[in-house]
């Protein structure tokens, strides 16, 4: 090696030593035990707040269906049309009856007027006038009743339209076009009012949960995850804990945003807090992985040393920074070098 090359190697070594010395005196974290919540993974089932039935108000034949399973409907929207051919016949009969009664009423009113004129001239009796007056009153009432029956038939014809009783998603449509149905039969069932998760927990956890607890909701359709990182999952709230235990299970409801794209009845993983435990956590940036082994740099007597660690799950810190639990490799009081 020449003298110039030797000087360059010495300068490079001095520079590397200066970098290491600066790192040894960089920012550090004194490890201390932190209390973290203990979570248990359970399955939550997507439920709708309301499941209402859209029913036919009249009997007849289904002539049109405008929704299918999975359709989104608004309250008051027409989802099917039921036709009863007898309604048109009944309306025609009511119209004919009204015309006949109007003709009879016109004749009775004419007779009443003539009887009153004859009574004034003394050629008719009071009893004839009274009979004509009574007949006019009877026919007037019969005409009013016939018009009321026609109004009922007209209303029945409009009730052939089956409307959605509420906004939501159509779950089932148990009839087809051309089906003959009776009044009150179900045309479709609609899930509405929002969605929530229904949990069935082992009864040993009944005393460990309470309303208002925060929970973590996993991905939909039980999608597998590459890591146990729960910080990427959605957060929900334990909204209700039912007081009865049936079959060794306690029921609880979880409120979480974004369940509208789930299937009703779909299951997903939910992590609920069932206690707490002490743990040692460090920022994820303090961990280095080489050849599948995780290392953390610590200071021992102002000298940087790498120690192998076994990591647990990632945890969201109070400041929002991602941290990871260290199962083994670190002790309380160790000075961790931060990047």
Q: What pLDDT, on the 0 to 100 scale, is given for residue 227? A: 42
Instruction: Assign 38 a pLDDT band (cuts: 50, 70, 90).
Output: confident
3-state secondary structure 136-175: HHHHHHHHHHHHHHHHHHHHHHHCCEEECCCCEEEEECCC
Q: How far apart are CA 52 and CA 61, in angstroms?
A: 22
- Which pLDDT value is given to residue 54? 94
Q: Tell me the average pLDDT across 17-46.
A: 70
Mean pLDDT of the chain: 83
261: pLDDT confidence band, cut at 50, 70 and 90? Answer: low
Residue 5: pLDDT band with limits 50, 70, 90: very low
Q: Quote the pLDDT of residue 26.
A: 55
Can you give the pLDDT at residue 232? Answer: 59
pLDDT at 204 over 60: yes
Residue 101: predicted pLDDT: 92
Greater pLDDT, 102 or 322: 102
Q: What is the pLDDT of residue 138?
A: 93
Quick one: pLDDT at residue 317? 63
Main-chain phi, psi angles of 6, to 5 degrees = -65, -40
Max mean pLDDT range (15-24, 89-98, 212-221, 222-231): 89-98
Helix, coil or strand: residue 309: strand
Q: What is the pLDDT of residue 14?
A: 37
Residue 322: pLDDT band (50, 70, 90) is confident
Looking at residue 223, its pLDDT comes to 45
Closest CA to 218 of 56, 15, 91, 44: 44
Q: What would the mean pLDDT of 208-237 be, rounded to a whole number?
A: 70
DSSP for 225-293 reads -SS--GGGSEEEEEEEEEEEEETTEEEEEEE-TTGGGSPTT-EEEEEEEEEEEEEEEEEGGGEEEETTE
Contact 79, 164 (CB under 8 A): yes
Check: pTM over 0.85? Answer yes or no: no
Residue 276 has a pLDDT of 81
The predicted-structure confidence for 106-165, as pLDDT tens digits, reads as follows 999 998 888 888 888 878 788 888 998 999 999 999 999 999 999 988 888 888 899 999
Which CATH class name applies to 19-34+278-337?
mainly beta
pLDDT of 186 higher than 90: yes
pLDDT reported for residue 320: 63
For residue 174, what pLDDT is reported?
Answer: 93
Is pLDDT at 229 greater than 70 in this prediction? no
Each residue's pLDDT tens digit, 300-312? 888 889 999 999 8
Q: Regarding the domain with residue range 39-48+193-276, which homologous superfamily does it belong to in the CATH classification?
A: Efflux pump adaptor protein, beta barrel domain (2.40.30.170)
In this model, does residue 294 exceed pLDDT 60? Answer: yes
**Least confident segment among 30-34, 158-162, 212-216, 256-260:** 256-260
**Which CATH fold topology does 52-80+163-190 show?**
OB fold (Dihydrolipoamide Acetyltransferase, E2P) (2.40.50)
């Amino acid at each position: 090696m020449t003298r110039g090359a030797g000087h360059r190697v010495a300068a490079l070594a001095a520079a590397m030593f200066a970098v290491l010395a600066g790192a040894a005196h960089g920012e550090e974290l004194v490890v201390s035990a932190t209390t973290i919540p203990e979570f248990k993974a359970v399955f939550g089932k997507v439920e709708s707040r309301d499941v209402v039935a859209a029913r036919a108000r009249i009997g007849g034949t289904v002539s049109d269906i405008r929704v299918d399973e999975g359709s989104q409907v608004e309250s008051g929207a027409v989802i099917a049309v039921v036709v009863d051919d007898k309604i048109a016949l009944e309306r025609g009969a009511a119209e004919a009856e009204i015309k006949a009664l109007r003709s009879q009423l016109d004749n009775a009113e004419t007779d009443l007027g003539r009887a009153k004129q004859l009574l004034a001239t003394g050629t008719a009796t009071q009893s004839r006038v009274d009979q004509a007056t009574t007949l006019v009153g009877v026919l007037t009432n019969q005409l009013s009743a016939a018009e009321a029956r026609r109004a009922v038939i007209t209303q029945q014809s409009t009730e052939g339209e089956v409307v959605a009783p509420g906004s939501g998603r159509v779950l089932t449509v148990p009839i087809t076009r051309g089906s003959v149905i009776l009044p009150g039969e179900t045309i479709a069932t609609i899930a509405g009012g929002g969605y929530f998760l229904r949990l069935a927990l082992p009864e040993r956890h009944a005393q460990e949960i309470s309303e208002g607890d925060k929970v973590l909701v996993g991905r939909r359709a039980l999608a597998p995850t590459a890591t146990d990182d729960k910080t990427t999952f959605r957060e929900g709230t334990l909204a209700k804990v039912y007081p009865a235990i049936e079959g060794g299970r306690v029921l609880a409801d979880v409120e979480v945003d974004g369940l509208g794209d789930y299937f009703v009845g779909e299951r997903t993983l939910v992590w609920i807090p069932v206690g707490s435990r002490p743990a040692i956590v460090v920022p994820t940036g303090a961990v280095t992985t080489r050849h599948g082994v995780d290392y953390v740099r610590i200071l021992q007597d102002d000298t940087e040393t790498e120690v192998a660690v076994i990591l647990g799950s990632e945890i969201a810190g109070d400041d929002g920074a991602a941290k990871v639990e260290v199962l083994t490799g670190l002790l309380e009081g160790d000075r961790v070098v931060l990047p």
